[in-house]
Structure formats: structure tokens, C-alpha cells
Amino acid sequence: MKQNRARKWGTALGIAAGVLVLLIAGGLIGWRLLIKYFTDQYYQKAYAPITLTAEGIGETPAEHHLADVPWIAASLPVCQSTSLQMIAAQQAIVQPRQYFDFLMGFTYGATSLPGVEFAPFGTDPETGFAVAAPYLGLVRRYYVTDDEALYLRALRYYLAQGYVVRLALDMGALYGTDEFLAHSEVLVGYDAAGFYYYETTCIAPATCEPGQRQPGAEGLYVPDGRLLDAVRSQARPLSYPWRYALTVFEPGPVEEDLEPVWKQDSQAMLGGAQYGPTMGADAVEALAERIEQRGTRSDASEIRTAMELTVQFRLDNAAYLRGAFPGDPDIEQAAALFDQAAASYQAVRDAVGDGIAGQTEAGQIAAHLRDAAVAEREIGEILLARAQE
């Protein structure tokens, strides 16, 4: 049950915040065409898609498998940054997952969505990949098509050219379950009937074991048809303007100015959207308000599981910032605030361990969450100031 909830938070990341803003605002008006127009506009602008063409896809051998990519599988719902960790490792960039979390803003901030009341993530992973790539000496290319035959050819072509191919897909469909789980996988090989992939998060419904395996490991296998179903199954509920997409990372210049990263991460912490999903510190405060209102009717188990993951991410963020920017007083203050927020979330976790006893305890839990929100808003302001320097 706990792992299923963790996967639901992974699903939250697959939903672009800007798109949801437009979907919800448009839904109130009831204009489906308007919703579609603005949704398409968001994806076109934010994702910078490139339409696949047959002219750009050459011949490929009957089968191929990459031998220079380690299989890194996490035990947490961190599929997006783990995907980038493996892609970077192919380029001899060996860093802990927290480094990629920072570059993508993946474990920074929070989100409140319908069906997922609180998730400790605050950025769209697709835009996070684009922000992170230049710091790895890479350029992100996001290719799209509605032609499944061309798509399968393109997957095999890029693999044969030596690229890791990253896919956004429905994990539920990939593993034959009914639950929609937005997810990120990396393809590392193919034969005539299907593809080999390295699972990024070995939690249900995946059956693999977390850990790191040497480059060239065979990985898991999926037939063409099921892979197509899984990719299409994510495109449909998220209203992508295309049926199939793939991402490859090509060599490019190395960026050193971290301004876009600081800005991205500060926005994740601060939130502040007027419409649609509640983001950042506002999402933390919204959770506090709901717990106060519901009291003993709150789902203590759901809250407990959410807090366990949030504590882990905030401690990870604090440790990364201290290690990456030693002696920087502002960033050390941000790290201290991450620790402070983690302590508040841990207090919530401890309080709901045996349920919420009554309104008094609900108020205490809400107070801990508001303390966390204050710390997270201060972190956002520190990171925003760094982006503006």
C-alpha cells in the first residue's frame, strides 16, 4: 500500500503544473476547445517538441544493446532524476541522485493535485530535463509523432547510434495493471520484437530489486506493442498534442551559470499560482488547513507516508547544498532551513503514527506544517536572491 501511494506521487510529477492551471481554469468555463488550445500552447512552448520525420531515421541493425550505461534503480519514486543519472553516467558524469534533483528541481517544493493531496515535488520533469542538460554538457531533444511505425524505427535508430533513449510512459500499462502511474524509463537496447530497459524505481508494480548494476546489464524486456500502449497511455490522460514522444541527449556546450537552476528551484519552493494546483509553500499550508478542517476524518496513513518521503527529500536537499556550496553563508542557511523543515515534517509523521486523536492534535499537526511552510518560503527567497545576483 505504501509503495502504491509513493507511485501516486510519481504520477503527480508527470502532470505539468502550467497545463493543470489551464485545464482547471478552462474547465470552470466549460469551453473544451479553449482548454485544448491553451493546453497545446503550453506543451508547444514548454516542451519544445521536434516532429519526427522519416528522412532523419536511417537503417538499423537487427538488434543492439548499449554497453556503457550502468543500471541504477532507486527504492524511492525518483524515476525522473534517476533517468538523468544514468544518462549522465554514460558521459562519465558520476554524481549522486541529489545532484540531478538539484539541477532538475525534482525534489524541491510541493504540489497539491486532485487525487494526490500532497506531493513533495514542485516542477514539471520535462522542463527540468531541459534546464539540467546544459550543466552536463548535453542538449535535450524531445521528439514527437503520431506514427507508431515511425516511432518504433526512431527508438531503434537512436539506440543503434549509441544514445540512451528516455521515455515518459504509464508504468501501470507497462506492467499490465489498471492504475495510471506517470513514469520515466530509459531504453538501452532492442531486438526485432521489443526493447530492453533499465527500470528507474524498483517499487511496485515493478518486481526488480533496487541497486546499481554494471554497464551492459541486460535489463528488463518489453514487446513493441506493450511499450506503445504504455507511452500512449500517458499521452492520453495528460492531453499531449501527440501520441508518442522520446527524449535523447546530444553533446553540447557546458553551462556554468546556475541562474536558471536557482530560479527553477526557487519557484518550486515558493509556488504562488493563482489558479489550478496549489504549489510550493502554499501547498504545505493548504494541507495544514485541510487537516484542521477534517480533524479525525483525515487520512492519517496517507499523511504519514507522504511525510516519510518529504523528510527524506528535505534532508537530501540539505546535505547536497552543504556539500556542493561549502562556505557559502546564504546556501548554508538554506540547508539549515531544509533541516528545519524536515524536523517539522518528522513531527507531523510522528503525530499521525497512531492516527489523529482529536481536534487538538489536528491543530498541533497543522502548526508543524505551517512551521515547515515558513522555512520553505524562506528557502525559496534565498534561492531567488541567488538567481537575481
User: Same domain for 264 and 212?
Assistant: no
User: Same domain for 348 and 246?
Assistant: no
If phi over 0 gives left and psi between -120 and 50 gives alpha, with beta otherwise, what is residue 340? alpha
Provide the pLDDT for residue 57: 95
Closest C-alpha among 388, 113, 184 to residue 266: 388
- 14 pLDDT band, cuts 50/70/90, is very low
User: Same domain for 128 and 59?
Assistant: yes
Last residue of a domain, one of 204, 226, 251: 251
User: Same domain for 52 and 190?
Assistant: yes
Largest CA distance in the chain: 68
What value does the mean pLDDT take over residues 326-337?
98
Residue 272 pLDDT > 80:
no
- Domain that includes residue 154, residue range: 2-251
Mean pLDDT of the chain: 90
Out of 92-106, 173-187, 282-296, which region has the weakest mean confidence (pLDDT)? 282-296
3-state DSSP assignment of residue 183:
strand
CA distance 248 to 241: 19
Number of domains in the chain: 2
Cell numbers at residue 63, please?
A: 538488434
User: Same domain for 199 and 305?
Assistant: no
**Tens-digit pLDDT profile for residues 18-73:** 444 444 444 444 546 666 777 788 899 999 999 999 998 999 999 999 999 999 99
CA distance 125 to 113: 16
User: Same domain for 15 and 116?
Assistant: yes
Rounded to the nearest 5°, which phi and psi values hold at 61? -70, 165
Out of 10-14, 112-116, 177-181, 248-252, which region has the weakest mean confidence (pLDDT)? 10-14
Cβ-contact 227, 243 below 8 angstroms: no
CA distance 106 to 354: 30
User: Same domain for 169 and 69?
Assistant: yes
We report the CATH number of the domain holding residue 164 as: 3.90.70.10
Last residue of a domain, one of 251, 275, 306: 251
Residue 71's beta-bridge partner residues?
A: 213
**Tens-digit pLDDT profile for residues 87-110:** 999 999 999 999 999 999 999 999
What value does the mean pLDDT take over residues 281-298?
89
Residue 365 pLDDT > 70:
yes
Instruction: Match 562519465 to its residue by C-alpha cell.
Output: 92
- 15 pLDDT band, cuts 50/70/90, is very low
Provide the pLDDT for residue 24: 43
Provide the pLDDT for residue 274: 55
Last residue of a domain, one of 251, 276, 299: 251
User: Same domain for 236 and 273?
Assistant: no
CA distance 143 to 46: 13
Residue 80 pLDDT > 70:
yes
User: Same domain for 79 and 226?
Assistant: yes
- 277 pLDDT band, cuts 50/70/90, is confident
Provide the pLDDT for residue 122: 87
Out of 117-126, 186-195, 363-372, which region has the weakest mean confidence (pLDDT)? 117-126
User: Same domain for 65 and 214?
Assistant: yes
User: Same domain for 189 and 222?
Assistant: yes
User: Same domain for 208 and 289?
Assistant: no
